[in-house]
Amino acid sequence: MYRVMIIDDERAIRGLLKSSVAWDQLDMQVVGEAESGIEAINTIDEFRPHIAFVDIKMPFMDGIEFSKLAIKRYPLLKIIVLTAFNEFEYARQCIGIGITEFLVKPINHKEIQTALEKIKKDLDKAAPDLTDEEAEPALSTTAEKIKEYLRLNYTSPDLNLASTAMAFGFNANYLSRMFKAEAGISFGDYLFARRMEKAIEYAQKKMLMYQAAEKVGIPDPNYFGRCFKKHTGKSYSEYIK
């Protein structure tokens, strides 16, 4: 059964879409909804939709920005953009980023049905590819991408939960919960461990403490020293000896 997500800041539109379609007959199910692009991008990994209805104009993150992020994460995602007539030229910006269909508000049952029937045919043809994509775990994959991001950027003193969440288009609280659930370790503990692993390597090379501190993204030598002792049980100078 194909999963559908509805993203629109108008409750009435979300209700209309849910109630005006015989979803079972199309082998589809509405699995989630969101009031904004930000809320949607923070929950899309939970719902893993095959189809998303997306309003073009939403606060904080509009439909175009959401679509860019969502399609980058899920290349096979079918997106139906909802737009007012006077926004249609604006909506045309979506054409180059993989938008499947446009529906002009006020939308009606026939237009929705026609768009979904067309998309269903495309999804049925792509069924083997969809199966392959779903066999890959999306959350654990995201957690691995975040780990790799931390391994590559741990040298920056500005690297933290908030900056990482922004880089991935997530809410910081959501990223924190997701990373802990998938990685089995908190974001902060993983970053700390990564920095201390590199600090030990530098200590083994007899590097001066202030230099090692800068290289692992903790430029305050005193704080770095406390972190190092907490992790190893020895001070930096003791470890070198």
pLDDT at residue 117, rounded to an integer: 93
Same domain, 27 and 119: yes
CATH number at residue 161: 1.10.10.60
Q: Which of 135, 167, 199 is the last residue of a domain?
A: 135
CATH number at residue 40: 3.40.50.2300
Domain ranges, residue 230: 138-240
pLDDT at residue 118, rounded to an integer: 92
Residues in the chain where the model's pLDDT stays below 70: 85-98, 127-137, 139-140
Same domain, 219 and 110: no
Same domain, 129 and 214: no
Q: Which of 135, 156, 181 is the last residue of a domain?
A: 135
Counted residue by residue, the chain has a size of 241
Same domain, 111 and 176: no
pLDDT at residue 86, rounded to an integer: 61
Q: Which of 94, 109, 135 is the last residue of a domain?
A: 135
pLDDT at residue 158, rounded to an integer: 93
pLDDT digit string, tens, across residues 191-221:
999 999 999 999 999 999 999 999 999 999 9
Number of domains in the chain: 2
Cα–Cα distance between 139 and 141 in angstroms, integer? 5
pLDDT at residue 175, rounded to an integer: 84
DSSP structure class, residue 241: -
pLDDT at residue 132, rounded to an integer: 46
pLDDT at residue 187, rounded to an integer: 95
The strands making up 78-84's β-sheet, listed across from edge to edge, are: 28-34, 2-7, 51-55, 78-84, 101-105
